[in-house]
Amino acid sequence: MADDIVKIKTIGVLTSGGDSPGMNAAIRAVARAAFHSNINVIGIKHGYYGLINDEFEKLDTHSVSNIIQRGGTTLKSARSEEFRTEEGRAKAAENLKKYEIDALVTIGGDGTFTGANKLSKEHGINVVGVPATIDNDIIGTDETIGYDTALNTALDAIDKIRDTADAHERMFLVEVMGRDTGFIALETGIASGAELALLPEELTHVDEVKEQLHDMLKQQRRSSLVVVAEGDETGGAMKLADNIKDDFSQYDVRVCILGHVQRGGAPTARDRVLASRLGAAAVNVLMEGHSEVMVGVVNNALKITPLRVAISKKKALDHTLIDLARVLR
């Protein structure tokens, strides 16, 4: 890594893996920051699939205007089995050279970063990762792009379910996304005033769940709402319902699986600002000569983390929040 400014003429940018709200804001920030330093930008469609299959298009200032507020990704995303092979990555590297792309910004999650790291190691391509996933499971950044929006989308849905739960004095098991992490479940649990939040990071004993629910129902609560992380070892809301509904038959236990709704929608202010910071930072660190790193924001300051570190483990939940949920419910 060098201290001097590195001459970069052309940057490529792509989104890969599961989409998350704010990816467009990140694309825009990469492009605008690059243009600000007189760097060309080429958008690569469909992630690594397009990198291999030559789906390159030059971006200008208009191609990224009026996209900051859009969900999804204008560059599209896709899976690419071929990129998992050395041959696939060799083709990708060839295309990058053909278009004289000096560095690549990859927007996505850990799978995206694993691929970027290999591409760099094998072909000397300068790469920087921008963490964007609703799961918030990437270390090296306090939040990932899309997490705040997904949180609010899930919360808005849970508020609506609370309306109907209250009206009928029912029990609802609401399953939220987050793969094998409980970030969305924990924070929506606190923010919705849920009776319980079941997290993959904590061992869930169905018997204890039943007991806790019985205790709370004795306090004459009008309804019960349990947030279940999709990765919880109970197997999700549907399976949990099968296991407990006989014990709570008077409450007419219902299940809601919020699903892909959580991936879409206009990004929140927070996600757009984060995406703007990280997109611009990605260009800056490339100009500073970094590669094989991820940009993040930790304690309100920019942080650069080696990609191999970023993909080495999952981010842990904040245990003070787990305790808080117990005190306030």
Binding of a copy of itself by 163 (CB under 8 A): yes
Q: Which is nearer to a copy of itself, 217 or 321 (CB)?
A: 321
What is the C-alpha to C-alpha distance for residues 180 and 199, in angstroms, rounded to an integer? 9
Using CB under 8 A, which residues numbered 79 to 98 contact a copy of itself? none
Report in angstroms how near the CB of residue 254 gets to a copy of itself at its nearest. 6
- Could you say which of 57, 100, 122, 159 contacts a copy of itself (CB under 8 A)? 159
Quote the CA–CA distance of 141 and 295 in Å, as a whole number.
Answer: 8
Nearest to 275 by CA among 63, 22, 16, 15: 22
Among positions 118, 121, 168, 303, the unique one binding a copy of itself when judged by CB under 8 A? 168
Q: Of 13, 68, 130, 198, which lies in the binding site for a copy of itself, with binding defined by CB under 8 A?
A: 68
- Of the residues 87, 90, 98, 193, which one makes contact with a copy of itself according to CB under 8 A: 193
Q: Which of residues 274-293 bind a copy of itself (CB under 8 A)?
A: 276-277, 280
Nearest to 125 by CA among 136, 137, 115, 111: 115
Q: Confirm whether 163 is a catalytic residue.
A: no
| Identity of the residue, 4 or 220, whose beta carbon is nearer to a copy of itself in the bound complex | 220
Contact assessment for residue 172 and residue 223, using Cβ atoms and an 8 Å cutoff: yes
DSSP count for the chain of H helices, then E strands: 11, 11
Q: Which residues pair with 130 in a beta bridge?
A: 107
The answer to the question of residue 153 lying near a copy of itself (CB under 8 A) is yes
- CA–CA separation, 197 and 151 (whole Å): 14
Query: Is 179 labeled as ligand-binding?
Result: yes
Amino acid at 136: N
Least distance (Å) between residue 23 CB and a copy of itself? 8
CA–CA separation, 302 vs 298, rounded Å?
A: 6
- Given 135, 137, 148, 232, which residue is catalytic? 135
Which range touches a copy of itself (CB under 8 A), out of 2-10, 101-109, 147-155, 305-313? 147-155
8 Å CB contact between 58 and 41? yes
Radius of gyration of the chain (CA): 22
Distance in Å, CB of 160 to a copy of itself, minimum: 3
Site track 231-270 with a copy of itself (rule: CB under 8 A), x = hit: -----------------------xxxxxxxxxxxxx-xxx
Spatial distance between the Cα atoms of 22 and 280, rounded to a whole number of angstroms: 14
Is residue 178 classed exposed, middle or buried when 0-12, 13-18 and 19+ CB atoms within 10 A define those classes? buried
CA 139, 141, 143, 144 dihedral sign is negative
Phi-psi region of 229 (alpha: psi -120 to 50; beta: other; left: phi over 0): beta
Give the x/- contact pattern for a copy of itself in 29-48, rule: CB under 8 A: x--xx--x------------
Query: Given the rule CB under 8 A, which of 73-81, 97-105, 117-125, 204-212 is the region that contacts a copy of itself?
Result: 73-81
CA nearest to 309, candidates 298, 321, 322: 298
Under the criterion CB under 8 A, does residue 224 sit at the interface with a copy of itself? Answer: no
The reply to whether 263 sits in an annotated binding site is yes
By C-beta, is 80 or 117 nearer to a copy of itself?
80
Catalytic residues: 135
Q: Which residues are annotated as a binding site for ATP?
A: 18, 79-80, 109-112
